Structure 1
Amino acid sequence: MGDYLWRQALACTWHIPLSHRGVSGHGTQNFLWQNGPVYIMDNHRAAWWCWLRHLVPGEPIDLFHIDRHTDTLTSNLPLWKQSLPTQMHGVSLQDYLGYRTEVHGFDTVTIRWDNYLSLFLEYEQANLGSVFFATHGDGDAPNLLSGSWRDIVPWELPANFDFYLSQGNNWIVNVDLDYFFCKMDDGSCQRFLAEAYVRDLCFAIKKNLDNGRIKVLTICLTPDDDGFSGGWASAETLCAEVCQYLGIQDFQLPS
């Protein structure tokens, strides 16, 4: 039995139970759920904390980021780092979410949904192996050396994902459901990638969870009503579809 299938027998954990379907913004974490190496959240900023729980310090890391945005904002990177410990392994979730920085006279959370990945890359650059970004090109370029990462366009992804993962053995796979949506002329966000696209990608993810090649999978809804996944209802509908194809049967947000 695959490692992930074995872990599915464990009870799921609500690190942050959903109290209401509120605004996530850049700093509010409305929920965080885990079963084994799989995490589901509303705000992507918690992803780095989830990864740290499955990574061994100094061990090589492979990263596959699937997201409308790069999430690698670097505008205040030195300032953000000053408010964080030199070693992030072992930091509690409360501390992780609570770090704060004063930027241009404004006090704000340090780890946000647009910089958690640039901070991760800054901390782990010496341990990075294969790195793939499948995005819509929104956001700052990754804070990595040119040629050290590969950009994947949407039509390449489902048919080649399994092959890409064969180029590493210690994968973080990081998915934001806003990747499957686009902005329409009326300003709304609508899903534009078909169910077959999602199915084939999820089947490839599941295969590599089962064989242990994926060490940790993080899934983010980005569900704000004026956000990039069309609101809570559409984000939850797609999340249910993703869970179905991944074989995740025990995740459900309260009604």
Structure 2
Amino acid sequence: MEALSVILRDDDLNALSTVDEVDQRYGEVLDSFPMFFAAIPKIKVGGDNFLHISKDFLERHRGCCFALTKESEIITYLRAKKFCKFAIHGLTHERSKRGKFEFEERSFVAERRLDEATRIVLDLGFPADVFVPPHDRIHPNWLPHLKKKGLQLCRGLGCTNRTLRPSFLSGNLDTALHRCKIGLQGFSWPMGCRAVCGVPHYFSLRFKSLEQVKRCFNKWRPHHGPLVVVTHVHHHDAKSIGEFYKLLDYCVQKRVRIKDRFDYN
């Protein structure tokens, strides 16, 4: 396990996230360990991820957009935390009229979405150099545009719902380590390839339990880069919170480095 490292990432933070839910989940973590929030800059009500708001609010505000700003209560809270980092997680996290995920298709509209998302995160006062495509789906033609904007790419080890399941990855990691696909186009490259088309690239694993991560570590190698462990603050209960803190204790005991930036050093 020598020289292994992890990056902690939470997905789907947005303008509707509350300080209470984030503080309950990560309050102590953010005072001691670096944590990346893959934020949705301008969430659209009625999109994919609304388990954390009431049905009444959903019905009253369906179709409305809420953008993160410097004045947002959640941003004020996170800016005061020493180890808080940000990544760009789409713009609105909604699907197209054709049912495609936000960056699954290459289009001029999506290009403008990326420009707006980058601007919003920069205006919050956080670096905007890591892009996390919603649902891990991104069209391969996006790579030159990411390179032009100086963005690094972080996405999951698989491309279909089945391959994204933690149980599948823990049992089939050998296969995943050799080949990873983007979107539905079958665009692939081997694990250990640190950049594709000039875009630095990192792989992530949806966190379920400490045992799942330990099984992954048994097959992970330092040249694969840091393992990005992904959680969702809006989808967790007391049991999953306990597992997350077990992971932190394990990393400290085994001297697994928790990184504060995306790189291969």
For the criterion TM > 0.5, the same-fold answer is no
What TM-score, normalized by structure 1, do the two folds share?
A: 0.39
The TM-score, its normalising length taken from structure 2, stands at 0.38
Which structure has the highest helix share of the two? 2
